[in-house]
Structure 1
Amino acid sequence: MTISTPILLTQAEIADLRKEFGRTSLMGKTIAAHINELQDFMRLPIDVPGHGEAGGYEHNRHKQNYTYMNLAGRLFLITEQQQYADFVIALLEEYADKYLTFDFHVQKNTNPTGRLFHQILNEHCWLLYTSLAYSCVSQVMTPAQRTRIESQLFEPMLEMFTVKYAHDFDRIHNHGIWAVAAVGICGLAIGKREYLDMAVYGLARNDTGGFLAQISQLFAPSGYYMEGPYYHRYAIRPTCLFAEVLNRHMPEVDIYQYKDKVIGNTVKALLSTAYPNGQFPALNDASRTMSITDMGVQVAVSVYCKHYGIDDNLLGMAKIQDRVWMHPCGLALSRAFEQAQAQADIGIPFWPSVELNEGPDGTHGAQGFIRMQDKKGDVSQLVMNYGQHGMGHGNFDTLGITFFNRGQEVLREYGFARWVNVEPKFGGRYLDENKSYARQTIAHNAVTVDEKCQNEFNVERADSVHGLPHFFSVDSDVIAGMSAFANQHYDGLSMQRSVFMLALPELESPLLIDLYRLAGDGEHQYDYSHQYDGQIIRTNFDYVCHQEVSTLGHDNGYQHLWHIASGKPSGTALVSWLQQQTYYTWLGTSSNEHSEIVFTRTGANDPSFNLRSEPAFIYRTQGQSTLLASVLETHGYFNEEFEQSVNARGKVSNIKVIGHNEYASVVEITTSESTVTLMVSNQLSTPTSEHSVTFNHKTYQFSGHYAVEITAIKQEK
């Protein structure tokens, strides 16, 4: 039997890591934090429980067991303390004695069951981390211990993953990434190299499965992962771990250069989606609280810095994370951070604006991320989805947007309807309300047509279509914008959304401008929804608060919305609210004559209190081809403690639709000091395309995708 050596560490690298023990560097702090966490866990009695609820004690204990075995294995090498090896060995022996006595899990899920977990994905995670731990301590085990653990635990797992569940092993999915990484690493750990080959090239060795097929098909040329940042950060950890394994044990693959540096591209793409505070936008099924401090992202940042280079933004990410991967890749980042910090203060990251194309060949739409700084350095970030559906985790919100500034998400994503690992809430799994509300179009900052969900909430149909990028323009310090079409998401209707950030001298922060055009036959109801947070401060129209509330509708998410209040504005509607210490004022209008503002709150038809109670307002109008136009101004300051309120009313006074047709849309925005005329092409165009449209006997001419004219208003002396 071959005695395993550490899969991801050499003796020289271990010695380098040992030098950081006790230091205040990022690596030193990481080692100290891991020791404290591990010591706390090791005080508990060893426990290998049987089956339990998905989010219950048993599930979490198995997860804790593999997490701390993984840490203990490396800490044994770094600290040379036998107690850490003894902990790993004792737990592995307990698992070896019990594993085959467990039948397959009694609790079923949509994925195949394991012997430890209700879905095989979790068993893949267990095997990956535990195999790494085993490779760190096997040299101090007896031959009998190694035989026992390999024959009663690791080999049965490998057989289950590659034979019993062979149909699932090569599936192109984030679950597949975990499967191949776990099998390949375990194969190395127990000296069965054939499993490494199987993991890299697939069961049939014909490019239809395996790690290389996974990273070739899951990630677009831009590096974007179709399920969104939340699932990307989950898939990135086995991706980077296995890439580092291949770099060391299969150098002929040249993994960090493979497919135009796909590993580096996908790490950079994930990082570039984050808000300035490090949190990820909750695109598709996602937690609202997931951020770059996630351990998988820590691994990814360390890997990227080691193999692709270090810049100020990556150092800024490391500052937010305040930890690195406990590995030579993390040590490279830690040393670079220490050197940079000695020369100057490391600021927060400011990723440039980026459009991330989707699909294996980059032709399935895109996700747009526009960032702009105000005079004080605060970053506003605008996100728009015009890409793929996102498979089973996709939400039905093509052309939906989110908006972030002053440290908070302003136009918000609801995120998933799930209580992760809270066993009394449906075992911590996705709740029924995830389908009935959170994934529905009305739950997003988009337009819902005739109270119906995009693509009729049909995943297969949604997966067959995607958005069509129009333009992505970020070359100006004054204005940046993006535009896209979604022409197959509602029967008989084409949609175009063009969103901009405009910096005007009289405004504190960039102004968000939003033009949403819908064209088709027949009369439709358009619900232009805005998910906000905070307290309504004022409106420019009267509204009626309903003392006896009813639901806004009966299906497609409307059944979960309480109809709180409504009013009919005359002309442009204004809604202003206070969120934390900042005022936000929205002004909206349309090309139709009549409109209504409906105030809603989630929580209807929710007997188990699964939904968060959150407000929204809907601009509702009826018509045929319609242009919905709005602006959102960030302004002022409020401090309750010191009883201060500054600029609570803002400086934007109006937005007006001049006209729109199949060729172009023209709107006019008025502030206290400027009149802004924005003209946008409604057809696919080039930067040199010429446009001419006439509305109300006035001709508007411009070239390119769009044009903006800013005219100063003469002030009376």
Structure 2
Amino acid sequence: MTAYLRAFSATLACGISLAAIGAFPVHAETGDVDSLGAESGDVVTEMAMQTADDDTATGHGSEAAKPATLFDAEVARATAFVDDMMRAGVNVPMPKDPGGGYTHEQHKKNYKAMVEAGELYRLNGDAKYAGFVRDMLLAYADLYPKLGPHPARSNQQYGRLFWQNLNDAVWLVNSIQAYDNIRASLNDKDRKKIDILFRSAAEFMSVESVKTFDRIHNHATWSTAGVGMTGYVLGDKNLVDKALLGSKKDGKAGFLRQMDQLFSPDGYYAEGPYYQRYALWPFIVFADAIDKNDPSQKIFERRDAILLKAMNTAIHLTYKGRFFPFNDAIKDKSLNTEEMYQGVAIAYAKTKNPQLLSIAQYQRRVALSAAGRAVADGIAQGLSQPFPFQSMLLRDGPSGDDGAVAILRHGDSDTGQALVAKNSSQGMGHGHFDKLSWQFYDNGQEVVTDYGAARFLNVVAKDGGKYLPENESWAKQSIAHNVLVVDEKSHFDGDVKIADTLPPKQIAYQAGDDFSYSIGQINTAYEGVGMTRNMAMVSIEGLKHPIIVDVMRVTSAAPHQYDMPLHYQGHITRIGPQLSSNVETRPVLGKDNGYQHIWVDATAQPVSQNAFITWQLDNRFYTWRWAPFAGSEMILAEIGANDPMFNLRREPIMIQRAKGAGNAIFAGILESHGKYDGAAEQTIASDSQIKSMKIVNGNGADVMVIETLNGVRVAIGFAHNEQADMEHSVDIDGQLVKWTGPAARIKL
């Protein structure tokens, strides 16, 4: 008998196959207008952010009563929650409401309570917790045969308990773990009745919802995880094989195929950081079940340990604990989410990496599981080491050839600088038309911003928490990002099917102490237009903080209108060119492709001497300085036009506009400077410390020359030919500047 079949024999004998994993509840987000995605990390529940130091979480009020470890605090928190649910009694209402509504939220609370009650029973053997799970599941067993398509279903695969199939899958993943922990305690009658419930739920996922089940997408990850874990608990090899290999069991779909297709070799997830956080939970927890039941799969070794690598990568895709919010993303999602508690715990259990303990310390929560206990014990024993946030290149695509995300860092991950160059693929239906976009973080703030998603998660008044219409009309459009927009049209003319097949290229990347750079390129976003974006983080003598250099080379044989937006956060303190302000009327910039949502506040015609704006954010100042085209226009604007339901955040934009341009260079620098101290009523260096900036082109290269007020001159060269061993030279005011390779920093 193989190890695989021996595992099933053990399952049939004792009915316990998942308990070694430990459980922690995760909730499906309540809305997703686009059928290509939604996810679990839902609205934070009444206890999701409570910590070991929070009296309300642990039920204590004195220093002496504080739990000894984070795990003790987790047990106390879960006990208080489950006991409250038990006092309220079993409540399994007929499904009716969309996301955020009463029945939706009650069913979420139910599976959360069940999974935690199951864990408490496993930990302390108190029969009341097993009885609670049993009674709840028996109520669901009575309800489930009466259910058809959810009455509040939308335009994607419907659920039964919830408005969309995804939420039903999350219910299954959580509830089967609860059942696993108490199944052996049941009498035959109750066990058979609840077994039928889970078989019915698994059939709904894998047969009635087969189109979702067989996708290569996060919805399918949840479905396959739920069905596969059900198979292990019930001892049903057919269900497990379907989950691993797809409904036809031919390997063209299923969990293993998803592992191979959705992650790059560097552990980057196709839909971006926000959905990487979310999808990791079913990937990690089902993988752990596979590892316990069928170790011959060596699931955590598959593709060079891709799941553990993806967990590590997800942490790197954060600043100050929050995920980089590109593609469809809610900006407040951070490492403090339930799926990340569980992911950190299982990853630590598999690797014993002490750097993960520092992430758990930041989270101040651990999973309610044996793995969570190990994390808490490691922290208590003083084993924690700092997580090494650093500059890195994360390739995209199953083979790593679909572009990349480049992260350039200076300083720590909470107050230092982070430049994110997004040269990655579209990201399927949750992707945005934002080729070669960028974001910048500094001083604990997102300075150059990405809008993320137009969505109010779990807010009933905002379309039940679903993605709003403005997600399509604004948030996904190119003008909503820091990218070049040609002729007021979005990349690929807004066609996601085409965009998915034409990723950018990551041409070059290098990280160093005083000079780091990323070069990305795409020639397919617009017909006949090529774009190469060079971005660098550069230290200059006399400046307290590195500056960000942005040089985009555009090639086109035909003339176009080019718009280059800069989305920023802060309040303008100084503007270089003379403004023509719209003080009585507020015109709208355009009619569609996102332009219909932009109010025009002022325009100007900058020249090289005055092409800058300065703004204040928190206690620091930022100056964006650029090299304007002859006859070009600067537009100061704000998001929010044609938004009658107030679904959009009001945020500022600065747009460089050039009309009738063919080949072009967009060059600019972002400088962090100064300090504002409101308490001391003191302001230091609120104006730029840079005297001038110019761009010089020639001999197959573009060179930016920067001079500070103190007379320090630095040249940043970017070659058109990016071969590593090629030599380049450009004449700068009579001085020949030479370097080898794609880019260089040269002191003049």
Instruction: State the TM-score, normalized to the length of structure 1.
Output: 0.93
Q: Is the 8 A contact 1:8 1:244 kept in 2?
A: no
Task: Give the partner amino acid of 1:500.
Answer: A
1:495 and 2:531 equivalent?
yes
Aligned counterpart, 1:544: 580
Deviates more, 1:477-486 or 1:638-647: 638-647
CA contact (8 A) 2:718 2:743 kept: yes
Partner of 1:79: 124
Q: State the Cα distance separating 1:217 from its structure 2 match.
A: 1.0
Counterpart in 2 of 1:132? 177
Query: Which residue of structure 2 lines up, in the alignment, with residue 665 of structure 1?
Result: 702
Structure 2 equivalent of residue 271 of structure 1: 315
The letter of the residue matching 2:120 is L
Q: 2:646 is matched with which residue?
A: 609
Rounded to whole Å, the distance in 2 between the matches of 1:80 and 1:23 is: 20
Shift of 1:551: 0.5
Do the aligned partners of 1:534 and 1:579 also contact (CA within 8 Å) in 2? yes
Instruction: Name the structure 1 match of 2:479.
Output: 442
Q: CA deviation at 1:255?
A: 0.9
**CA shift at 1:552, angstroms?**
0.8
Deviates more, 1:85-94 or 1:35-44: 35-44
Secondary structure of 2:318's counterpart equals coil
Post-superposition Cα deviations, 1:454-488, rounded to whole Å, max 9, x if no partner, equal 110001111110111111100x2111111110111
Structure 1: distance between partners of 2:737 and 2:540: 22
Quote the Cα distance in structure 1 between the aligned partners of 2:288 and 2:208.
28
Q: CA deviation at 1:327?
A: 1.9
Cα offset, 1:699, TM superposition: 4.8
Report the 3-state secondary structure (helix = DSSP H, G, I; strand = E; otherwise coil) of the residue aligned with 1:234: helix
1:683 match: secondary structure: coil
The one-letter amino acid paired with 1:569 is P
Q: Indicate the residue corresponding to 2:372 in structure 1.
A: 330
Cα deviation 1:565-624 (Å, max 9, x = unaligned): 11122214111111111111111114x222222111111001111111111111222322
Change (3 A) 1:693 1:398: same
- Establish whether residue 296 from structure 1 lines up as the match of residue 332 from structure 2: no
Matches within 5 A, 1:114-263: 114-151=159-196, 153-263=197-307
RMSD: 2.1
Aligned amino acid, residue 331 of structure 2? R
Asked if the contact 1:627–1:660 (Cα under 8 Å) also holds between the matched residues in 2, the reply is no
Following superposition, the deviation at residue 693 of structure 1 comes to 4.3
Given that 1:471 and 1:483 are in contact with CA atoms closer than 8 Å, whether structure 2 keeps it comes out as yes
**Contact kept in structure 2, 1:2 and 1:190, CA below 8 Å:** no
Query: Residue 671 of structure 2 aligns with which residue?
Result: 633
CA contact (8 A) 2:21 2:285 kept: no
Partner of 1:47: 91
1:698 to partner: Cα distance: 6.4
Give the letter for the 1:176 counterpart: A
Out of 430-439 and 302-311, give the one that drifted further: 302-311
Residue from 297, 322, 329 that aligns with 1:286: 329
Residue matched to 1:14: none
Report Cα offsets for 1:86-142 as digits up to 9, x if no partner.
221221111111111122112233332121112111111101110000011122222
Judge conservation of contact 1:537–1:577 (CA < 8 Å) in 2.
Answer: yes
- d(CA) in 2 for partners of 1:626 and 1:54? 48
> What letter corresponds to residue 370 of structure 2 in structure 1?
P
Q: Does 1:557 align with 2:594?
A: yes
Mapped partners of 1:145, 1:495: distance in 2: 64
The 1-side partners of 2:575 and 2:66 are apart by: 58
Q: Which runs of 5+ in 1 are unaligned?
A: 12-20, 712-717
TM-score by length of 2: 0.89
Looking at structure 2, the residues matched to 135 and 552 of structure 1 have their Cα atoms a distance apart, in angstroms, of 58
User: Residue 248 of structure 1 aligns to a residue in which SS?
Assistant: helix
Q: Which residue of 2 aligns with 1:461?
A: 498
Task: Rate the CA distance shift 1:334–1:377 in 2: closer, same or farther, 3 A.
Answer: closer
Structure 2 residue aligned with 1:31: 75
Residue 10 (structure 1) shift: 8.7
- For 1:497 and 1:507, the matched residues in 2 are separated by 25
Map 1:575-614; keep pairs closer than 5 Å.
575-590=613-628, 592-614=629-651
Identity %: 33
Alpha-carbon separation, structure 2, partners of 1:698 and 1:338:
61
What letter is aligned with 2:605?
K
* Alignment-derived partner of residue 432 in structure 2: 395
Q: C-alpha displacement at 1:523, in angstroms?
A: 1.9
1:318 to 343, 351, 360: 360
- The equivalent residue for 2:450 is 413
- 1:506 paired residue number: 542
How much does 1:695 deviate?
7.2
Question: 2 CA distance for matches of 1:268 and 1:525?
Answer: 42
Question: Is the Cα–Cα contact under 8 Å of residues 213 and 220 in structure 2 kept in the other structure?
Answer: yes
1:393 CA drift (Å): 0.6
The one of 470, 481, 489 aligned to 2:507: 470
Cα gap change, 1:79 to 1:497, in 2 (>3 Å): same
1:339 to 371, 374, 381: 381
Hey, what does 1:4 align to over in structure 2? 15
- Please give the alpha-carbon distance, in whole angstroms, between the structure 1 residues aligned to 2:351 and 2:14: 33
Give the match for residue 56 of structure 2: none
Counterpart for residue 691 of structure 1: 728
8 Å contact kept, 1:404–1:411: yes
C-alpha distance in structure 2 between counterparts of 1:241 and 1:515, whole Å: 44
| Counterpart AA for 1:172 | I
Match of 1:364 in 2: 402
Q: For the residues of structure 2 that align with 1:311 and 1:636, how far apart are their CA atoms? A: 37
Q: For residues 43 and 567 of structure 1, do their structure 2 counterparts lie closer, same or farther at Cα, with a shift above 3 Å needed?
A: farther
Residues 470, 685 of structure 1: 8 Å contact kept = no
Task: State the shift of 1:435 in Å.
Answer: 0.6
Quick check: 1:629–1:655 contact (8 Å CA) kept in 2? no
Deviations 1:679-703 (A, max 9, x none): 10123322x1112345777654321
1:228 maps to amino acid? G
Secondary structure at the aligned position of 1:340 is classed as coil
- How many residues in Structure 1 have an aligned counterpart in Structure 2? 690
- 2:470 maps to a residue whose letter is E
Deviation at residue 339 of structure 1 after TM alignment: 2.3
Residue aligning to 1:353 = 391
3-state SS of paired residue (1:293):
coil
Contact conserved, 1:299 with 1:324, CA < 8 A, in 2? yes
SS, match of residue 31 in structure 1:
helix
| Cα deviation digits, residues 654-709 of structure 1 (max 9, x gap) | 21112257x211111111231111110123322x1112345777654321111211
User: 1:278, 1:317 within 8 Å by CA — same for their partners in 2?
Assistant: no
Superposed counterparts of 1:100-119, under 5 Å = 100-119=145-164
Distance 1:638 1:238, change over 3 A: same
1:654 aligns with one of 692, 696, 706: 692
Are the structure 2 counterparts of residues 528 and 334 from structure 1 closer, same or farther at C-alpha, using a change threshold of 3 Å?
Answer: same
Aligned equivalents of 2:522 and 2:735: distance in 1? 30
Distance (whole Å) between structure 1 residues aligned to residue 517 and residue 304 of structure 2: 28
Structure 2 unaligned blocks of 5 or more: 1-11, 23-64
- Identify the range of structure 1 (403-412 vs 153-162) with the bigger mean alpha-carbon deviation: 153-162
For residues 314 and 414 of structure 2, the distance between their equivalents in structure 1, rounded to whole angstroms, comes to 23
Structure 2 residue identity aligned to 1:320: Y
Distance 2:359 2:442 in 1: 18
1:517 aligns with 2:553: yes
